[in-house]
Chains A and B, each alone.
Chain A
Amino acid sequence: DAGVIQSPRHEVTEMGQEVTLRCKPISGHDYLFWYRQTMMRGLELLIYFNNNVPIDDSGMPEDRFSAKMPNASFSTLKIQPSEPRDSAVYFCASSLQGAPMVPQHFGDGTRLSIL
């Protein structure tokens, strides 16, 4: 079975540019999560969706960050304009709805470097 697929795997861009990260969750999964991982702060939840609807975006750091899920098989995380402090590894994860105790399945992440 295909896991969570993220693209690109690596992104290097200059400050001020728009960055779009993409995620394809596991087919049939109802929840989708976006995380950010840095050495200083560890792994932080940015936003999560249930059935394509954003449920909690309290972790989104600033208005420069936005996320969409136009359908059950695709989500984007956009940063505009990007800043050097946005450099991190961004993970997407998905999980099934229904069972109260189910693990989240993670993609391999996008390593973002803002110069």
Chain B
Amino acid sequence: KQEVTQIPAALSVPEGENLVLNCSFTDSAIYNLQWFRQDPGKGLTSLLLIQSSQREQTSGRLNASLDKSSGRSTLYIAASQPGDSATYLCAADYGGSQGNLIFGKGTKLSVKP
């Protein structure tokens, strides 16, 4: 069964700290791995998408890595800010099509000023 796990479920850090969020997936035959952000009462916003042939993607203070062989992805957030507080979800695309995303349950991040 294809599963995506995110640990920890919640994380609290002081402002300015660098942090890493973890995502693991059971089936390494993924097409891509996506990271999303979800604010309370809102939908998901796509942050980064890593294709299976890539090792990492960067956007501003965010860097996502992908290691298919170990079934892991990480989202690195540099110099965290209170505005980064949200739930971060990763999703593995197994179908190569648009509809086969398997989501983790997310890590709720709180950045304290």
Contacts and interface: CB of A to CB of B under 8 A. Distances in A.
A50 B98 CA distance: 9
18 contacts: A31-B98, A33-B98, A42-B104, A43-B44, A43-B89, A43-B105, A48-B99, A56-B99, A100-B96, A101-B32, A101-B49, A104-B46, A104-B98, A104-B101, A106-B43, A108-B42, A108-B43, A109-B43
B34 A103 contact: yes
A60 interface: no
A45 B101 CA distance: 8
Contacts of B34: 103
Contacts of A4: 43
B43 A91 contact: yes
In the complex, the 9 A-B pairs of residues with the closest C-beta atoms, listed nearest first: A106-B43, A103-B46, A48-B99, A42-B105, A43-B103, A106-B44, A31-B98, A108-B43, A107-B43
B51 interface: yes
A45 B49 CA distance: 19
Interface in B38-70: 41-46, 49, 51
A109 B41 CA distance: 8
A104 B32 CA distance: 13
The interface size bin for chain B is 20 to 34
A51 to B, nearest CB: 12
A33 B99 contact: yes
Contacts of B44: 43, 91, 93, 104, 106
A50 B100 CA distance: 13
A55 interface: yes
Nearest to A50: B98
Interface string B87-104: 001010000101111011
Nearest to B101: A45
Contacts of B104: 42
Contacts of B89: 43
A48 B95 CA distance: 13
Contacts of B103: 42-44
